[in-house]
Amino acid sequence: MRKYRTIAPRSRYWKPNIDYKMALQKLIKDRIHHNDVIVISEKAIATASGRICDESKYKPSLLAKFLAIFWMRIVWGHFLAPFSRMSKINISRLRQYPFKEGSSHKQVTLHYAGFLQSLRHGSEGGIDVSNLPHSYSCIPFVDPELIAMDIRRYIEEFLDRNVDVMISDSDKTYSFFSFHLSPRKSCLNGIHCFGVIAFILGRFFKLRPRSTPIAFTRKERNPEEALRIAALSNRARGDGAGRTIWDVAERFKVNITAVTWNMLESMPHYPVVIVRVSAHA
């Protein structure tokens, strides 16, 4: 088995509409080697690309309200969350799922991710609200592989390094030997999207959880190796201001919609992680 080392250069927060390619180049230009894997946070690059929406502007439908009140507070809060071995604090949060903000959020997930993904308790279809200010949520790319290939070409052209690029999500894929269940789609054959079922079964049976590779430019894409690289990069990156929107709000001692850009910019960020085969492998 290959041994890897990770390099996580500290960065400023990637706000919408920055030149993320230039920001990426500055972070890695003096650090990368040939054959490195450059792992980029999906949320960081989507936010930088302006793929965010203000959920407060969405008028929730009856279905969105049903999902926020009955599905989240009752079904998740009293049945699915305990069955999934979630922590007591997260179970309590689900039982008190906010009606106004939660209904608007579910309307966004219904619009962008569809009904089945909206049955999840969070990160529906990759839509994420943690480490974002106000009522914003981050909308994932439709075709992240094109983005990954474009970044790879940019690095090869401007930094003259032959590398591979991975876009990853901290949302977990659960593995049972060589069978991998993910709550959302991945570009890798061998990682199967089971939606909400992946989280429930993965947690209940205590399957091995690892971050999900969303896109990967490597031609020979072994899912086990890709999952290992994604997991190592996520460990090096950390959780930013918090793993969930509740954690972020508690860190700054504000309401979940009162987090600001300035608060997020005060925290260290690691949107990019370089993963390299160790010389001692």
CA within 13 Å, CB half, 254? 13
Question: Both 209 and 229 in a single domain?
Answer: yes
pLDDT of residue 55: 98
Question: Both 232 and 166 in a single domain?
Answer: yes
Question: Both 96 and 115 in a single domain?
Answer: yes
Q: Which of 95, 123, 151 is the last residue of a domain?
A: 123
User: Whole-prediction pTM value?
Assistant: 0.94
Rounded to an integer, what distance in angstroms lies between the CA atom of residue 60 and that of residue 100? 9
Question: Both 13 and 95 in a single domain?
Answer: no
pLDDT of residue 240: 87
Q: Which domain holds residue 24?
A: 4-52+141-277
Contacts of 260 (CB under 8 A, 6+ apart): 133, 134
- Tell me whether residue 101 is in a domain: yes
- Tell me whether residue 259 is in a domain: yes
pLDDT of residue 177: 94
Q: Which of 94, 123, 152 is the last residue of a domain?
A: 123
Question: Both 109 and 173 in a single domain?
Answer: no
pLDDT of residue 270: 96
In tens digits, the chain (281 residues) has pLDDT values of 788 999 999 999 999 999 999 999 999 999 999 999 999 999 999 999 999 999 999 999 999 999 999 999 999 999 999 999 999 999 999 999 999 999 999 999 999 999 999 999 999 999 999 999 999 999 999 999 999 999 999 999 999 999 999 999 999 999 999 999 999 999 899 999 999 999 999 999 999 999 999 999 998 889 999 999 999 999 999 988 889 999 999 999 999 999 999 999 999 999 999 999 886 55
Question: Both 35 and 73 in a single domain?
Answer: no
pLDDT of residue 103: 98
pLDDT of residue 83: 98
Question: Both 95 and 218 in a single domain?
Answer: no
pLDDT of residue 280: 56
Name the DSSP class of 85. Answer: T
- Tell me whether residue 131 is in a domain: no
Question: Both 214 and 90 in a single domain?
Answer: no
Q: Contact at 8 Å (CB) between 165 and 271?
A: no
Question: Both 15 and 70 in a single domain?
Answer: no
Which tokens is 279 given?
């010389």
Q: Which of 123, 154, 176 is the last residue of a domain?
A: 123
pLDDT of residue 241: 87
H or E stretch at 210: strand 208-216
Question: Both 63 and 178 in a single domain?
Answer: no
pLDDT of residue 274: 98
Q: What is the largest CA-CA distance in the chain?
A: 58
pLDDT of residue 219: 83
Q: Is 275 helix (H, G, I), strand (E, B) or coil?
A: strand
Q: Specify the CATH number for the domain of residue 245.
A: 3.30.1330.100
Contacts of 183 (CB under 8 A, 6+ apart): 120, 123, 171, 172, 173, 193, 194, 195, 196, 198, 199
- Tell me whether residue 136 is in a domain: no
- Tell me whether residue 135 is in a domain: no
Look at the chain and report how many structural domains it folds into.
2
- Tell me whether residue 129 is in a domain: no
Question: Both 145 and 266 in a single domain?
Answer: yes
Question: Both 109 and 246 in a single domain?
Answer: no
